Structures are given as structure tokens and as C-alpha cells.
Amino acid sequence: MKLISLKFASTALLIVIGSLCAGGQVLRGNVTDGTTKKPAAADDVILLKLDKGMTEEARTKSNARGEFSFQMQDSQVMHAVRVVHEKISYYQPVMPGSASVTVTVYESEPTVQGVHRTDQSVVFQAKGGTLQVYELFDVRNDSQPPKTQPTFSFYLPDGATLQSGEALREQGMPLKSAPVPQEEKGKYLFMYPLNPGLTHFEVVYTLPYTGAFKYQPRFAGALDKFYVVTPKSMGFTTDNPSQYQTAAAWPVDAGVKDIDVHVAANTGQGAQLAFNVTGEGVLQQDQAPQQSASGGQAGQAAPGRQAENEGPGGGMGIPNERPNPLSSGQWGFLGVLTLFLAGGGAFVYMVSGNPGASPAAASSHKHPASLLDALKEEMFQLEADRLQGKINPQEYTGAKAVLDKTLQRAMKKK
């Protein structure tokens, strides 16, 4: 009788151990310092579980070899690893079933040599006494050795009411990032690190308008090219015509039509680049409005889209709505999507073989791994925004459903 009990207990123990092993999995990883090319030791490493929310599951520190490991409670759900290096957080999504992960961090400096602004665009549209402005910045970090600059600064004109901001890293997804006003009048700061490579920023703001406005550019750093974009129905004049050249198209996004483009290459501090805009007009675009997964239009009417119950030519966008045509050419395929449907829409757009895809889209189509990384980043950001109350439950549910389905499709493609 005792022997049978012992056999039963042993069998039960094996079953329990087996179920525990099946339910969990060891995730091993390493942290590499991209500046020194050496292991990053003693960094805080946090395992985040992304399942019906974002919760901290475990934390540890990288050892002298930059290694770390976690026993995941459920390896079949989405996770992310957060590494804090020199007070800057670096995130790496972890796909369900993954057993290893690598995170690259960089040394940081307040101002990094090799960071320069390749172009800046200020895009206007006006209607009904409101002047709406979309300002776009492309910043490249070519630092050698590679380092991270923690923030990005810029100036807005007097009287500007900031509506929203976004940041987008190369081969990433657009993330809402609210610029922080500084003590210096008109100066703002994006608390978003400039990692090696290209980073794109966009801000949307409004200005008081009575049919004419004098714009005085002010730059926070050296700039290669400065673009002014207006609908053809609006006027553009400057006190120094020799400073501006007329361009046939706006290279940042060739899909925007019926516009006038003026470009200045010798920017200096912007004092000699003052100009005036007059009249009214809204932006037009070639593309039709994007459709959400449910069949409805994704988002509110934005510049270039025809708003409901409005005649041809479209209407002014909601000030905090990211406009369809205002993405960089390198990010164009992302710009036509609303923030929380970007992951799903971008993947469907790219795998459909659209001949009009931008170079960035074509490149990603050739490399499915980058698509998966982008989708994972978007899913992580969605959970973070939900916890911070940036989206309501209905928006979260709809976006999560689209991302889940797209992720499954991406896995099959891979």
C-alpha cells in the first residue's frame, strides 16, 4: 500500500513538473553597447508581459558579459524587454515562443557630434479664420562611434497653439510624443532619443489668422534644406526672394498635389528667411482615404481628405489628427494610416505589391523580419498608450484586433 502511494506521488510530481515546464520557458538575452562594441554590464533589465495590458513580470540586471535570463510564466504571449542604460530606455519586443533576445544600447551625450537636420518642412493650410501648420523634421545621427542624443529641440512661432506631436524611428512605427515647452520662449523639446540612423518628427499647431500671417523661421540647429509648402490658392511672398527657389514638387511627399513649394538651402539662423502667407486653401492628395479593418474610414477628415457632408476639395483636419500627405518620403506608406492601425495597414499595404510603395516600403517587403519588428513595436506601444489612458477602450479593442490578425499573417509569411 505504501509502495503504491509512493509511486502515485512520484507520478503526480512528474506531471506537475512537466506542466510547469510546458507553461514556461527560459528567455535568454544579452545587452550590447553599440558605442564600445562591448557587453553592457549592470544595466536594469525588465521583462514586460503584453497580454490584456502591460505588466512587469520580472526584473534583473545584466551580468559582466551583458547576459540576462528570465523564466517566463507564459512563453506563448507577447513580451517586451526594457533595458535602462544611462537613464535612457531601449525596448526590444519578444515574439511568442522566442527563447532569445538581443538589445543594443548606446552611450549618450546631451549633444552628439554627427547629429544633423537633413530637412525641415513647414506646411500650411487655412480655412475659416484658422491657420493650421504641419512642421516636419528629418534628423540623421551619423555619430562615430555611434551614440544616442536623449532629446530633440525646435522652435514654434509666437502665438502657436501646439496640438500634437509624433516621432518615428527608421523602420519603426509612428509614436505619439508630446513636445515639452521650455523656459525659453517658443522652444520645445521632444523627449525622444535620437539613436544612430534617421529619426522623423512631426508637430501640428494652429496660429491666429485673419487672412495673412508673417512667419519668422527660427532653427535650433544647422539645417540642410528648408521647405515651405502651401496650397496653390494661398499666396507666398518674402522680403528676400533670392533666398528661396521654386521647386516643381515637394520631395518629402510627392503625393501631395496642387501645391507651391519654395526651398531655401542657405538657412543660417532663419532671420533672412521670413515670409508671408495669405489667403485660404486646403491640401489635396492623390490617394483615396484609407479604410479601417471594419470598412469605415480610418480617422477623422484630414487635409486632402474629403470630409463627410463637404464638397470637393476636402476640409481642414482635426488639429490633433495626423494628416495623410505629410509623411516623409521615407515614411510615406505609414503616413496614410491612423496611429493605432498603422501596424496592420502598413503590412497589408506592403505585401499587396502596391507599385506606388515608397523605397522604405519596398525595402521592408524584401525583409519580413523588419515588418515583424515593426508590428511588435506597435503592439507594445498600443499597450503602453492604453495604460497611460491615451486611448479609450473602444479604440484599443479595434486596434488590438487588427494588430493580432496582421501579426498572425506576418508570421505565416515568414
pLDDT for the residue numbered 355: 32
pLDDT for the residue numbered 208: 93
Query: How confident is residue 222, by pLDDT bands cut at 50, 70 and 90?
Result: confident
Domain match, 40 and 96 both = yes
Q: Report the pLDDT averaged over residues 372-381.
A: 65
Domain match, 133 and 55 both = no
Domain match, 101 and 120 both = no
115/324: higher pLDDT: 115
Measured over the CA atoms of residue 245, residue 249, residue 253 and residue 256, the dihedral's sign is positive
Query: Tens of pLDDT along 334-370?
Result: 332 233 333 333 333 333 333 333 323 333 333 344 5
Residue among 360, 382, 364 at smallest CA distance from 373: 364
Domain match, 198 and 255 both = yes
Q: Is residue 155 part of a domain?
A: yes
Q: Report the pLDDT averaged over residues 135-148.
A: 96
Q: Mean pLDDT over all residues of the chain?
A: 75
Among the listed ranges 26-30, 194-198, 305-309, which one has the minimum average pLDDT value? 305-309
Beta strands in 183-319 (DSSP E): 187-190, 197-208, 212-215, 223-231, 235-238, 245-247, 256-257, 259-264, 275-278, 284-285
Q: Report the pLDDT averaged over residues 223-252.
A: 93
Domain match, 168 and 77 both = no
State which residues form the domain around 158: 115-285
Q: Which helix (H) or strand (E) holds 4?
A: helix 2-23
183 Cα distance to chain centroid: 26
Residue among 210, 233, 214 at smallest CA distance from 277: 214
CATH number of the domain at 83, please. 2.60.40.1120
Three cell numbers, residue 335? 503616413
300 vs 278: CA distance, rounded Å: 26
Domain match, 393 and 361 both = yes
At a CB cut-off of 8 Å and minimum separation 6, what does 324 contact?
285, 287, 289, 290, 302, 303, 304, 305, 335, 336
Number of domains in the chain: 3
Three cell numbers, residue 104? 543594443
Query: Tens of pLDDT along 255-306?
Result: 888 999 999 987 766 668 999 999 999 998 764 333 333 233 333 333 332 3
Domain match, 98 and 145 both = no
Q: Report the pLDDT averaged over residues 129-142.
A: 96
Domain match, 148 and 249 both = yes
Q: Is residue 356 part of a domain?
A: yes
Q: Is residue 69 part of a domain?
A: yes
The answer to whether 46 touches 90, Cβ cutoff 8 Å, is no
Q: Is residue 269 part of a domain?
A: yes
Query: How confident is residue 247, by pLDDT bands cut at 50, 70 and 90?
Result: very high
Residue with cell 549592470: 42
Q: By percentage, how much of the chain surpasses pLDDT 70?
A: 62
Domain match, 130 and 271 both = yes
Between CA 15 and CA 24, with CA 18 as vertex, the angle to 5 degrees is 140
pLDDT for the residue numbered 52: 75
Q: Is residue 327 part of a domain?
A: no
Q: Does residue 145 register a pLDDT over 80?
A: yes
pLDDT for the residue numbered 370: 53
pLDDT for the residue numbered 24: 64
Query: How confident is residue 373, by pLDDT bands cut at 50, 70 and 90?
Result: low
Domain match, 120 and 196 both = yes
Domain match, 152 and 226 both = yes
Among the listed ranges 35-44, 142-151, 261-270, which one has the minimum average pLDDT value? 261-270
Q: Does residue 190 register a pLDDT over 90?
A: yes
pLDDT for the residue numbered 270: 67
Q: Report the pLDDT averaged over residues 41-46.
A: 97
pLDDT for the residue numbered 388: 60
33 vs 146: CA distance, rounded Å: 10
Among the listed ranges 70-84, 151-165, 167-181, 197-211, which one has the minimum average pLDDT value? 167-181
Q: Does residue 376 register a pLDDT over 90?
A: no
pLDDT for the residue numbered 269: 65
Q: Structure pTM?
A: 0.65
